[in-house]
Structure 1
Amino acid sequence: MPAVSRARSKERNRQKILDSAMALFRERGFEAATLRDIAKAAGLSTGALFANFADKNEIFLIVVEQENARVINVMREAYDETLDLPGRLHQQLMRGYEYAQINARLILSAFVMKWSAGQTAQTGLNEIARMSDMVRYALLDTLKAAVERKELPANAPIEAAAEILEDLCFANMRRAFQNSREPATFDVKHLSDSVTLQVKLVIAGLQHA
């Protein structure tokens, strides 16, 4: 097989593995999704899996990284200039939560990795931190735009506000999943009401800082 064809075949196999892993991590979480199951779902042998990835941790972290990017894209795409500032922030956060719902077990598994041992745990922690950073940057961009539109004072401490909203984002997600009977669902109405109040309080603080 020519080198170009081999490279394309290898890339197709990698994507098959990642796609099947994503589906299984969403369905079962990290621990319950075995390498044998991932390979079978991809229509490949475990040998083909190990030809592309070192272990399940590597697969999981790549999947988490890809999903991080998708969540941030969803939040950025939810930005709507026709809404007032509270409405814009609320919509961005809620779209992120709605997307996170389908990844509940994946997200919870990622946070569990914070308490794992060894270098892989640190790598997993880095991926979680990267997701947190990207959420903060997306919200900070919205606050910067609000300053430019004179919805907030020029000297408003928007960096601190973005950090507060970032912390609230993940605290809300954790509570929503903890309080739900099924990990992949949560009370959207209750969450929406909480986000509305939190956003209003943060904006009020910015306007009077």
Structure 2
Amino acid sequence: MRDVASPSPAADVDGEAPRLNRRQAAKVRTRQKVLDAARQLFAERGYEPATIRDIAKGAGMSTGAVFANFQDKAELFEAVLSTDMIKLAETLKSAAAAETTVRARVLAALTAGYHASLEQLPLVQAVIARSWFQPVAAEMRIRAAIKPLISVVTDTLQAGVGDRELRQDADVRLLGEMIYGAWLSNYRRAAYDGWTIQQLTDQIGKQTDVILAGALSRQ
């Protein structure tokens, strides 16, 4: 009878994540250093002024090491954005969960978003600015990256339908996209008018009230 080989140390056993060998672990660490350095520079300078050379310097490595992990600056930017959007979505979810009414949950989530991202305003500006000039494929990837944020809002609205705070025929997808669009547009007031988080919160509260006015349950 043929012996059955034992799983190698790198194999996935009982659902556990496969262990990395030394070379793979080093590559993961290098990639993370590049991402951390890029995130810091994008947050401080925005997209265009942050060069690959400066990102490499911030990571303590050569530009070749950066290009060994990312095809170009655009791919690096998308990787930073995707990671940050996942974390930001979790922040929004946690904030929303602490409230009871649909309006309070939506506003708590969006206010938490302002708190988490306003210190990185150049990065937010870069996301908005690039959205008008990037290739279609890049646009689709960015939409996928921000989808978790919009989902927090739409899921909250859907719960409001279930709780009968909102009408049963409310188009939660459209309402969620409108609220997210209003939330994102307010960053211009922070960038050019110096609005504080409190001013942004007050504004998105008024915008949310207008957007949801026709969807509120009459019960």
Asked if TM exceeds 0.5, the reply is yes
Q: Which of 162, 165, 169 is the matching residue for 1:155?
A: 169
Percent same amino acid among aligned pairs? Answer: 32
Question: Would the alpha carbon gap of residues 152 and 19 (structure 1) be closer, same or farther in structure 2, given more than 3 Å must change?
Answer: same
Query: 1:83: which partner in 2?
Result: 100
Per-residue deviation at 1:199?
2.0
Q: Which of 166, 187, 197 is the matching residue for 1:188?
A: 197
Query: 1:108: which partner in 2?
Result: 125
Q: 1:203 & 1:97 partners in 2: Cα distance?
A: 21
Alignment check: 8 A CA contact 2:56 2:66 kept: yes
The size of the alignment, in residue pairs, is: 199
Q: Does residue 14 of the first structure (1) align with residue 28 of the second (2)?
A: no
Counterpart of 2:201, as a letter, is S
Q: Does residue 136 of the first structure (1) align with residue 150 of the second (2)?
A: yes
Per-residue deviation at 1:38?
1.1
Q: Which of 186, 199, 203 is the matching residue for 1:172?
A: 186
Per-residue deviation at 1:190?
1.7
Q: 2:37 & 2:45 partners in 1: Cα distance?
A: 12
Q: 2:187 & 2:116 partners in 1: Cα distance?
A: 11
Query: If you compute each CA radius of gyration, which structure gives the higher value, 1 or 2?
Result: 2
Counterpart of 1:191, as a letter, is L
Q: Which of 47, 57, 78 is the matching residue for 1:30?
A: 47
Q: 1:49 & 1:129 partners in 2: Cα distance?
A: 25
User: What are the superposed Cα offsets for residues 122-166 of structure 1, whole Å, 9 maximum, x if unpaired?
Assistant: 344234423443332211111111122222232233233222212
Question: Would the alpha carbon gap of residues 43 and 139 (structure 1) be closer, same or farther in structure 2, given more than 3 Å must change?
Answer: same
Q: Which is helix-richer, 1 or 2? A: 1
Q: Which of 77, 87, 96 is the matching residue for 1:70?
A: 87
Q: 2:99 & 2:176 partners in 1: Cα distance?
A: 21
Runs of 4+ with >6 A deviation: none
**RMSD of aligned C-alpha atoms?**
2.2
TM-score under structure 1 length normalisation: 0.84
Alignment check: 8 A CA contact 2:85 2:149 kept: no
Q: 2:135 & 2:124 partners in 1: Cα distance?
A: 15
Counterpart of 1:174, as a letter, is R
Question: Would the alpha carbon gap of residues 16 and 127 (structure 1) be closer, same or farther in structure 2, given more than 3 Å must change?
Answer: same
Q: 1:168 & 1:196 partners in 2: Cα distance?
A: 10
Alignment check: 8 A CA contact 2:78 2:142 kept: no
Counterpart of 1:139, as a letter, is V
Q: Does residue 200 of the first structure (1) align with residue 209 of the second (2)?
A: yes
Q: Which of 44, 55, 72 is the matching residue for 2:61?
A: 44
Per-residue deviation at 1:55?
1.7
Query: 1:183: which partner in 2?
Result: none
Per-residue deviation at 1:175?
3.2
Query: 2:140: which partner in 1?
Result: 126
Alignment check: 8 A CA contact 1:78 1:95 kept: yes
Please, which runs of 5 or more residues in structure 2 have no aligned partner? 1-19
Q: 1:66 & 1:77 partners in 2: Cα distance?
A: 17
Q: Does residue 98 of the first structure (1) align with residue 112 of the second (2)?
A: no
Counterpart of 1:29, as a letter, is G
